[in-house]
Amino acid sequence: MKKIAVLTSGGDSPGMNAAIRSVVRTCVSKNISILGILEGFNGLVKGEFIELGPRDVSNILQRGGTILRSARSKEFRTSQGRELAYKNLKQEQIDGLIVIGGDGSFTGASVFHQEYRVPFIGIPGTIDNDLFGTDFTLGFDTACNTIVEAVDKIKDTAASHNRLFFVEVMGRDSGYIGLTTGIATGAEEILLPETATNIDQLIAKLEDSQKSRKNSSIVIVAEGDDGGGAYSIAQKVKEKFTHYDTRVTVLGHLQRGGRPSCLDRVLGSQFGHKAVESLVSGKSNVMVGILNGEIAETSIELAISNTKPLKQHLFHIKDDLTL
């Protein structure tokens, strides 16, 4: 490996900059040239490369988002677009690619690898924590901390006004964020894509809470819940449960921003370092991750084709603690 390129793709997540910084400085320490690709696969198709050195990644460890920017690429989804991307890589004499993103990004990179045999390593960068083969993805911890801080503030006003708040968090297909933050904030109920929503059971739970002299309640709703989202569920509950002043808060993209937590900074640094070492050792089409506290590698096929199940013991904790 004489020259490596790195890109960030899909939704941004806190910790991506830590991974970029780690990739760049690890490459420099091994006398490998490193290029950044702007705006993900879109930049790969357009040939938007920039040279990176140690000083180019100074003071980015603490920044959210990604200095390389990210974008969806319709062109890269076509065979013509990928052919152009390959020509750009060859023109720049790039020997390997590091892709920081989620399952959609890895799927595109895997197709590219199958067609042109370009060596690549994936770094899991998504707040959803939904990739098989790693206990944590970059940005998940920071997003959870952001949600907890917001819900703690909402609880203050909920208690002051006898209000029932439905708080919608991200998680179209995975409930990791909802389940984790619901436990951390003491939510009365947590509604997730993995479980069916029963409005009558929810109302019964809220009524039990009121009978136990609770003067406010918080319900965490993942955006992919089958009940139709926080607004739809809140309206159905309001029709039958009139005791509380019912309100809805959708946290939206607030969850993606902000300074990465200590955990995400360390993970990004570990993932970036391991990604370079994996490429240098001849590995390809694998994702680096962390399993049981140790850095591990998982084939991209396994990472994107397997569903990462929620931890069942967390459901038991939730049920026992929401009294």
Q: What is the CATH number of the domain that holds 157?
A: 3.40.50.460
Where residue 222 falls among pLDDT bands split at 50, 70, 90? very high
Instruction: Clarify whether residues 130 and 209 are in a common domain.
Output: no
Name the maximum alpha-carbon separation found in the chain.
70
Instruction: Clarify whether residues 235 and 272 are in a common domain.
Output: no
Q: Is the residue at 276 inside a domain? A: yes
What does the pLDDT look like over 155-179, one tens digit per residue?
988 888 878 899 999 999 999 999 9
Whole-model pTM over 0.75: yes
Q: Is the residue at 123 inside a domain? A: yes
Helical (H) or strand (E) element with 28: helix 16-29
Among this protein's residues, is 200 annotated catalytic? Answer: no
In three-state secondary structure terms, 122 is: strand
What single-letter DSSP state applies at residue 87? H
What does the pLDDT look like over 99-138, one tens digit per residue?
999 999 999 999 999 999 999 999 999 999 999 999 999 9
Residue range of the domain that includes 121: 3-139+260-305
Instruction: Clarify whether residues 29 and 168 are in a common domain.
Output: no
Question: Phi and psi dihedrals of 292, rounded to 5?
Answer: 55, 35
Q: Give the number of domains in the chain.
A: 2
Which residue among the candidates 103, 128, 225, 264 is catalytic per the annotation? 128
